[in-house]
Amino acid sequence: MTSRVKVKEAMKEKVPGAKAHLVRPGKVLVLGSGALKIGEAGEFDYSGSQAIKALKEEGVKTVLINPNIATIQTSEGMADKTYFLPVTPFFVERVIEKEKPDGILLSFGGQTALNCGVALFESKVLERHGIRVLGTPVKTIIDTEDRELFVKRLDEIGVKTPRSIAVNCVEDSKKAARKIGYPIIIRAAYSLGGQGSGFCSSEEEIVDRAAKAFTHSSQILVEESLRGWKEVEYEVVRDSYDNCIIVCNMENFDPLGIHTGESIVVAPSQTLTNSEYHKLREISIKVIRHLGMVGECNIQFALDPFSEDYRVIEVNARLSRSSALASKATGYPLAFVAAKLGLGYSLPELRNSITKVTTSCFEPALDYIVCKIPRWDLSKFSQVSNRIGTGMKSVGEVMAIGRNFEEVIQKGLRMIGHGMHGFTANRDILYPDLEHELKNPSDRRIFAIAKAFEEGYSVDRIHELTRIDKWFLHKLENITSISNELSSHGSLGSLPDELLLEAKKRGFSDFQVARLVLKPGSAEMEESLLKVRDHRKKKGIIPFVKQIDTLAAEYPAMTNYLYLTYSGSCHDVGFGRQGGDEDSVVVLGSGAYRIGSSVEFDWCCVNTAASVRKTGRKAIMINFNPETVSTDYDMCDRLYFDELTFERVMDVIDLEDPLGVVVSTGGQIPNNLAMRLHKEGARILGTSPESIDSAEDRHKFSRLLDELGVDQPEWKELRSFSEVKAFADKVGFPVLVRPSYVLSGSAMNVVSNPEELEQFLKLASDLSKSHPVVVSKFIEGAKEIEIDAVAKDGEMLCYAISEHVEFAGVHSGDATIVFPPQKIYVETIRRIKRISRRIAKKLGISGPFNIQYLAKDNDIKVIECNLRASRSFPFVSKVLKLNLIDLAARVMLGEDVKKPEKSSFELDYVGVKAPQFSFSRLQGADPILGVEMASTGEVGCIGDDFDEAILKSMLSVGYDYPRKGVLLSTGPVDSKAELVEEARLLAGKGLLLYATPGTARFLEESGVKCTALYWPDDKRSPNTLECLKSGKIDLVINIPKNLSRSELYNDYTIRRNAVDYNIPLITNMRVAKAFVQAMCNTDKKDISIKAWEEY
């Protein structure tokens, strides 16, 4: 008689890391990702926050290190201790010594945390302090990060990777390329989002690229090119009992060759058969088991479009941008689950947080499609190519949810916020060479495809040029044909209902329908759009609300993660009184992260929703950014993951009939909707839309200031070059030139002379033909001061005044900000308070607002006023330890709010907010500061004094104490003079000084020794360029010679090379002074290690 059937485990080989640790750590250190930068953005606030929540739920103490003060994870009620310190081995070790944690999470803070963790592991710091790495072991991380090891590990199990040769010098890269055959791709190991990567089709290209890649990494890979292959990603979860699931698979719309962060991506995959889908799934699991991952990871495949051949491109042994996207796309809380698995839980033990009754050990079934589209801001940078490729340039992304591809791509293109209305019915973009445009992907290629269809290109032809799968192209063609059909009707009366409904199902907005059918001029656009809306509502053509439930309706969802679609015939949820008795409040989110609007507004929105809930009302969030915490369905009562357009917001308001709408915490997008929503009868909470308009409209606001007798820089709205010239002559150069109604200074510039003025106006007038130009007097050497405040019925309840380190002329988003201010006259502060009070009173402000001032010799001028939360609200709230948003929210909800007693004058510490730039990602960009915002993120650190605070901040955004040499090129004479003392200090620290000819002469004359270097365009030696490349310099101070964007070749070359060779660069005289002084006054080891709670 045989014994009973033995069911073996699925896996045959010994699996590393498959043993469960059931010993719970008592205290866990969580590493954040620091400032938002290209390649590492808001998604890590989401993952870190979820990890902290998961640990807290288990009673584990958490210590967080993250200098990004605007994040949710660094907020009250999150980690037990929060350190606003750089995520570098030096500081993390100091925190370890102090906090003595017994566990650490490395995979929730992006590449920054991972690299830092690997360094701490390799230097045995973790071992020395007895700290266990929770989740994926460091050995596995190293296996995935080192390409050679990675390939070897995959070879062991017969999994294919691209043919590739690892090299350590430029010469070897040439040899490797010859062996593999051109075209090849170059990749740098250990880098953020493909930095330093690129295609090369010739020896010349490889020499150039390889040299740059080596500055990011000591090793580069020369690989076979798989251009045109499909790119597919899988998000895999594995627990320590070896259970594996695929939470989501995703397919790139753009074929391989474009970084996944730069690609339009859909989930789930659309063009894969069962056999392909499950083949790649099986390989994913095999790989993850073999490597011994515990928690979450991402695996990227290339799939041959003509067979089932594949290559594994990359494995990310950590939460990534894709995993944040997968979480939002499926409703599966990846980061939360990954953290629990790190504590030793098994997948089947954890519940599905949407159904509450089913297990977490399952694979979400979607009954919708999502589409992610990247957001680029390349036009903000001079000399940056808008071509996209294997490196990442995008600064944010959006995710659209719907029930067909046409719907999601059109929704997504609107969400991007570049003024497009969908795939069609947009303003005409001119492509001088359409074929070239299709062949060479850029940030606008999708619109080139629209243009091609318009011009009669076939799907086959476009496929040949773009290599985009024909399935996607057929869908886009379908949008074009619906557009054409709509255009063939001239009135709503003649438009068949069925066609209108079909158009709405395929993602057409009322705006598109209005433009295509009614063909109005721009003046009648708004009216036409309302006509369409009215017409379709009368016909009963309205969207339906559907739930995201992870199980395709197989089980009821207990959460309200929602989207709207016309492909439906019933709502999944009830509304208004049906939905419950409480009043609800709609909070409008901030949309895609972009330069000028990012995580800080998400913090404001999340806090507003929390405050709404605290008052017993239901919070309804509308937002579509998958990188945010505000789009976590447990942050509000209802989450509409949908557009922030007038149409969609009104759709939600029509359904929900809320008490009101909050437009003042999500930045400029909701702010711009205020008046239109108000006109349609929506109740705007807080400051009245008329007042918002008065502050936004330059003329109205200027008149108001005049009435109040408040000074402002002289300005004029002008329509011709001669008028502008005359005005500039009158007030004197320099002048600031800009169009009205802008965010983060698009198309603004300071011009110093008539030639620059003429040159700039040619560009600016191209940008906005119908709009006049606003020219104002630019005041040099003025201090910029900001006030962030909350008022109730015009009475200022609380405020925070902060000062910029830089003189006016640097965009406030790029400025280094000090709070409380350290160098302002008491009289100036008094006057700013007084003026702010008067403005608040006049505009009847109820809610948050921000005013920016110029101060010179006690002379104060107002330069800008926003009746909404500004990007510095989280910073000042956290330094002040008074949540200004909570206060503002309660004011807007009409709660009884007492004036808080806190005052910034009582603070015995200082906060400094510093910008993070991503110039290294933007090939060719001139890393210079101006009135246009260029930073992608920021940090905020607290110190016992200004020196300590600025040091912590600047070390957090990539600066460090130089140890070898400093290159000085200190610009105009006055700034040369200003920086002599600092040069002396640096020399006093034993640093070697190098200087460009003029600066060198100046320093010598002042008695500071330095080595003079020739300018880059001078062929003579010693040359600045060779010095930069030699590694002798670890700080560059290069002060631009004038205010304009067009800088001289030599200075540009120095700055650009500093960025390309990863050398810290300072381009502002005031920042240079502050940093050098602080650095020379305070040793790195003397910087205090204090948690936020200790100040």
Partner 1 sequence: MKLTKARLILEDGSVFFGKSFGFESSVAGEVVFNTGMTGYPESLTDPSYAGQILVLTYPLIGNYGVPGDEQDEASGLLENFESDKAHITGLVVSDYSFEHSHWNAKKSLSEWLVENKVPALFDIDTRMLTKMLREKGTMLGRIVFDKDERKEKGQGFFDPNKENLVKKVSISEKKIYRGRGEVVGRGVLRVVLVDCGVKNNIIRCFLKRGVEIVRVPWNYDFLGEEYDGLFISNGPGDPKACKATIANLKKSLDANDPKPVFGICLGNQLLALACGADTYKLKYGHRGQNQPAVMHTDNKHNRCFITSQNHGFAVDSESLPEGWEVLFSNANDGTCEGIRHVSKPFFSCQFHPEAACGPTDTEFLFDDFLEEVRKHKRESGRSGK
Q: Please choose, out of 48-56, 211-219, 271-279, 1080-1088, the segment that lies near partner 1 by the rule CB under 8 A.
A: 271-279
Shortest separation between residue 360's beta carbon and partner 1, angstroms: 9
- Verify binding: residue 451, partner 1, rule CB under 8 A: no
DSSP, residue by residue, 518-535: I---GGGHHHHHHHHHHH
Length of the chain: 1095
Shortest separation between residue 424's beta carbon and partner 1, angstroms: 18
- Verify binding: residue 359, partner 1, rule CB under 8 A: yes
Q: Considering only residues 534, 554, 780, 1083, which one is a binding residue for partner 1 as defined by CB under 8 A?
A: 554
- Verify binding: residue 567, partner 1, rule CB under 8 A: yes
Shortest separation between residue 477's beta carbon and partner 1, angstroms: 8
Nearest Cα neighbor of 1092 from 32, 81, 90, 86 is 81
CA distance 930 to 809: 6
- Verify binding: residue 474, partner 1, rule CB under 8 A: yes
Q: Are strands 1011-1012 and 1035-1038 parallel, antiparallel or unpaired?
A: unpaired
- Verify binding: residue 14, partner 1, rule CB under 8 A: no
Report the chain's terminal Cα–Cα distance, integer Å.
Answer: 75
Between 349 and 714, CB nearer to partner 1: 349
- Verify binding: residue 3, partner 1, rule CB under 8 A: yes
Shortest separation between residue 246's beta carbon and partner 1, angstroms: 8
Tell me the β-bridge partners of 807: 783
Binders of partner 1 among residues 295 to 334 (CB under 8 A) are 305-307
Cβ-proximal residues to 318 (8 Å cutoff; 6+ apart), any chain = 106, 107, 108, 110, 111, 113, 114, 136, 141, 296, 297
Distances (CA, A) of 70 to 30, 292, 496, 605, 911: 17, 35, 50, 12, 13
Contact (Cβ atoms closer than 8 angstroms) between residue 817 and residue 784 = no
Binding mask 575-614 for partner 1 (x = CB under 8 A): ----------------------------------------
CA distance 601 to 867: 14
Phi, psi of 280 (to 5 degrees): -65, -35
Q: Please choose, out of 164-172, 235-243, 507-515, 865-873, the segment that lies near partner 1 by the rule CB under 8 A.
A: 235-243
Number of residues this chain uses to bind partner 1 (CB under 8 A): 70
Shortest separation between residue 352's beta carbon and partner 1, angstroms: 8
Distances (CA, A) of 464 to 423, 435, 457, 459, 473: 20, 10, 11, 9, 11
Q: Considering only residues 77, 158, 274, 901, which one is a binding residue for partner 1 as defined by CB under 8 A?
A: 274
Cβ-proximal residues to 515 (8 Å cutoff; 6+ apart), any chain = 421, 425, 525, 528
Collapsing DSSP states into helix, strand and coil, what is residue 848?
strand
Tell me the β-bridge partners of 790: 798, 848
Instruction: Starting at the earlier edge strand, list the strands of the sheet with 783-792.
Output: 859-866, 847-856, 783-792, 795-807, 817-819, 910-916, 937-943
- Verify binding: residue 268, partner 1, rule CB under 8 A: yes
Between 277 and 909, CB nearer to partner 1: 277
Q: Please choose, out of 25-33, 175-183, 274-282, 289-297, the segment that lies near partner 1 by the rule CB under 8 A.
A: 274-282
- Verify binding: residue 271, partner 1, rule CB under 8 A: yes
Shortest separation between residue 350's beta carbon and partner 1, angstroms: 11
Between 21 and 98, CB nearer to partner 1: 21
CA distance 1058 to 1050: 12
As given in the structure block, the two tokens for residue 213 are 């890649």
Between 78 and 473, CB nearer to partner 1: 473
CA distance 30 to 62: 7
Cβ-proximal residues to 177 (8 Å cutoff; 6+ apart), any chain = 184, 200, 203, 206, 222
Shortest separation between residue 356's beta carbon and partner 1, angstroms: 12
Between 351 and 1084, CB nearer to partner 1: 351
Q: Considering only residues 241, 381, 875, 1052, which one is a binding residue for partner 1 as defined by CB under 8 A?
A: 241
- Verify binding: residue 19, partner 1, rule CB under 8 A: no
Shortest separation between residue 292's beta carbon and partner 1, angstroms: 17
As given in the structure block, the two tokens for residue 668 are 């400029």
Collapsing DSSP states into helix, strand and coil, what is residue 566?
coil
Say which amino acid occupies 579: G
CA distance 273 to 308: 10
Q: Please choose, out of 237-245, 385-393, 603-611, 710-718, the segment that lies near partner 1 by the rule CB under 8 A.
A: 237-245
- Verify binding: residue 569, partner 1, rule CB under 8 A: yes
Shortest separation between residue 1053's beta carbon and partner 1, angstroms: 47
Q: Considering only residues 430, 523, 570, 826, which one is a binding residue for partner 1 as defined by CB under 8 A?
A: 570
- Verify binding: residue 80, partner 1, rule CB under 8 A: no
Nearest Cα neighbor of 612 from 643, 582, 632 is 582
Binders of partner 1 among residues 192 to 231 (CB under 8 A) are none
User: Running DSSP on this structure, what letter comes out for residue 826?
Assistant: H
Q: Considering only residues 553, 558, 767, 1048, which one is a binding residue for partner 1 as defined by CB under 8 A?
A: 553
Q: Are strands 103-105 and 27-31 parallel, antiparallel or unpaired?
A: parallel
- Verify binding: residue 469, partner 1, rule CB under 8 A: yes
CA distance 796 to 819: 19
- The sign one gets for the Cα dihedral 546, 552, 556, 560 is negative
Phi, psi of 849 (to 5 degrees): -155, 165
Between 4 and 538, CB nearer to partner 1: 4
Q: Considering only residues 186, 361, 398, 1043, which one is a binding residue for partner 1 as defined by CB under 8 A?
A: 361
Q: Please choose, out of 403-411, 432-440, 845-853, 949-957, the segment that lies near partner 1 by the rule CB under 8 A.
A: 403-411
Binders of partner 1 among residues 493 to 552 (CB under 8 A) are 544, 546, 551-552
- Verify binding: residue 403, partner 1, rule CB under 8 A: yes
Tell me how crowded residue 914 is: count the other CB atoms within 10 A of its CB.
Answer: 29
Shortest separation between residue 961's beta carbon and partner 1, angstroms: 50
Q: Please choose, out of 356-364, 514-522, 818-826, 1047-1055, the segment that lies near partner 1 by the rule CB under 8 A.
A: 356-364
- Verify binding: residue 364, partner 1, rule CB under 8 A: yes
- Verify binding: residue 269, partner 1, rule CB under 8 A: yes
Q: Considering only residues 7, 430, 523, 826, which one is a binding residue for partner 1 as defined by CB under 8 A?
A: 7
Between 557 and 674, CB nearer to partner 1: 557
Binders of partner 1 among residues 120 to 139 (CB under 8 A) are none
- Verify binding: residue 278, partner 1, rule CB under 8 A: yes
Q: Considering only residues 281, 375, 1045, 1073, which one is a binding residue for partner 1 as defined by CB under 8 A?
A: 281
Shortest separation between residue 485's beta carbon and partner 1, angstroms: 11
Between 212 and 230, CB nearer to partner 1: 230
- Verify binding: residue 273, partner 1, rule CB under 8 A: yes
- Verify binding: residue 244, partner 1, rule CB under 8 A: yes
Between 550 and 664, CB nearer to partner 1: 550
CA distance 667 to 601: 6
Burial of 613 (0-12, 13-18, 19+ CB in 10 A): middle
As given in the structure block, the two tokens for residue 1068 are 């502002």
CA distance 435 to 452: 9
Q: Please choose, out of 278-286, 441-449, 732-740, 789-797, the segment that lies near partner 1 by the rule CB under 8 A.
A: 278-286
CA distance 244 to 362: 9
- Verify binding: residue 235, partner 1, rule CB under 8 A: no
Binding-site ranges for partner 1 (CB under 8 A): 1-10, 241-246, 268-275, 277-278, 281-282, 285, 305-307, 346-349, 357-359, 361-369, 403-405, 459, 469-471, 474-475, 544, 546, 551-556, 567-570, 572
